[in-house]
Amino acid sequence: MKSITENEIKKVLQSYEKFKEHITKRIMSLYKEMEDTDSQIATVAYKKPSLDGYGGFQSEKKDLFDILEKHEKNVRMQAIEIRTEIQRLVEEEENYNRVWAGYRSLRGDEYSIITALYIRLEPYKAVEAEYEGSHRKFEFVRKSALNHIKMLYESEFTNLQIVQHKYCRPKNKSGRQDETKDDKSYVQLKLSI
């Protein structure tokens, strides 16, 4: 996975909903363009062999054939460009989804602070005033949450593993592991009926 900065994380969190709406519309529009392009390719491919029955001079046939070939080449290039743009948008969407998965994995104060600051866009001072702790502790929790999102973004975990908490958080400064649910905390109950 590639790396991400704290500012990029903030930008993603602040614009996630608008981005998802925009990217969905843009990808649907490109799929429609691709359908139209594929239809044009099929039409041009169908018309080429039918020129044999054209009653004009040989040079006219060649000119029409050259025009159709050039048009087909242009349409095929357009199709490649559309597919490339769709691929770029899907990769960008994956980057947003990855940050969002990291955000959804937050718990407690980390989740509350990040939600207030970067999702609901509440003023920093107002969010800090609501927090029951010192400025230093507030900043520590905020930074810790952003670092947690960054660590998960840059990890090898899948988005599903991230939201299911199938990872271990690194140990904090006191040597204790930060609270996280992993596979060992889950016990299946057996009921005999």
What are 143-180's pLDDT values in tens digits?
999 999 999 999 999 999 998 887 765 555 554 444 43
**Distance of alpha carbon 125 from alpha carbon 146, whole angstroms:** 18
Q: Is 112 helix (H, G, I), strand (E, B) or coil?
A: helix
Q: Sign of dihedral through CA atoms 70, 71, 74, 75?
A: negative
**Distance of alpha carbon 144 from alpha carbon 150, whole angstroms:** 10
**Cα within 13 Å of Cα(83), Cβ side:** 9
Both tokens of residue 97?
Answer: 């989804």
Entry pTM: 0.67
Q: Is 92 helix (H, G, I), strand (E, B) or coil?
A: helix
Q: In this structure, are residues 119 and 50 in contact, taking their beta carbons and an 8 Å threshold?
A: no
Return the percentage of the chain with pLDDT > 70, whole number.
72
Confidence of residue 66 (pLDDT cuts 50, 70, 90): confident
Q: In this structure, are residues 16 and 122 in contact, taking their beta carbons and an 8 Å threshold?
A: no
